[in-house]
Amino acid sequence: MIGKTAGAMCLDLLEFYPEISHLHFAQYTPAPPVSDATTAVGLHRRLRHAQGIICRDAVLRGDVAGYLEARDANHVPGTSLSVCSSVTVAGQTRHIAMVDFQTGAMIEDIVEGMRRIAERGVVIESTRSFHYYGTALLDGAAWRRFMGWSLLLDHIVDARWVGHCLIEGECALRVSRDSAGAFPKVHAMF
């Protein structure tokens, strides 16, 4: 699994959890990193949480591979595709545990931190940071607890990202190519 793209990992997740009927995806326009929250513009950008969502799709499990291929083939420059934490299981919403880490967080610290608050998962290397995908499906209350636990790892977790996820009621992590053409890829498993 090491070296697989985030999209291929989504397909593996569907094999691991045959009860998932739909994965949810969002196409969005990424915002540049926020470095200055002391100005009115910086504060506005820091508090913005919609991230320029263009569209959201609930994709049937059997259609996910074709959906990802079509999105890649018809990529709109300046946009990205993310997989959302919310999935549909027997008509109910469940969540894949997800975390976005701070730029510069060390892989050893990430794996150790996630081992302490989660059972198993994979760490994906993205353009500027690492991402975590858990292997457990969580109900809403368990997902909120997991997000709370992740905030306690504030030395490595992107706390602003967690705040936006809690506001939105779900997480989202990029699975599409970055501006240089590289896909996020599996870096570690535990």
**Is residue 1 in a domain?**
no
CA-based nearest residue to 142, from 118, 114, 113, 124: 118
What is the reported pLDDT for 110? 97
Count of domains observed in the chain: 1
* Residue 121, SS3 per DSSP: strand
Give ∠ CA 141-126-62 in degrees, rounded to 5. 65
**Is residue 119 in a domain?**
yes
DSSP 143-163: HHHHHHHHHTTTTTB-HHHHH
How would residue 138 be classed by pLDDT, with cut points 50, 70 and 90? very high
Amino acid (one-letter) located at 33? P
**Is residue 38 in a domain?**
yes
How many angstroms separate the CA atoms of 176 and 174, rounded? 6
For 72, the domain range is 6-189
pLDDT digit string (tens) for 9-68?
A: 999 999 989 999 999 999 888 776 666 556 665 555 555 555 566 677 899 999 999 999
Rg, Å, the chain Cα set: 16
Average pLDDT over residues 110-131: 94
pLDDT digit string (tens) for 88-98?
A: 999 999 999 99
Length of the chain: 190
**Is residue 15 in a domain?**
yes
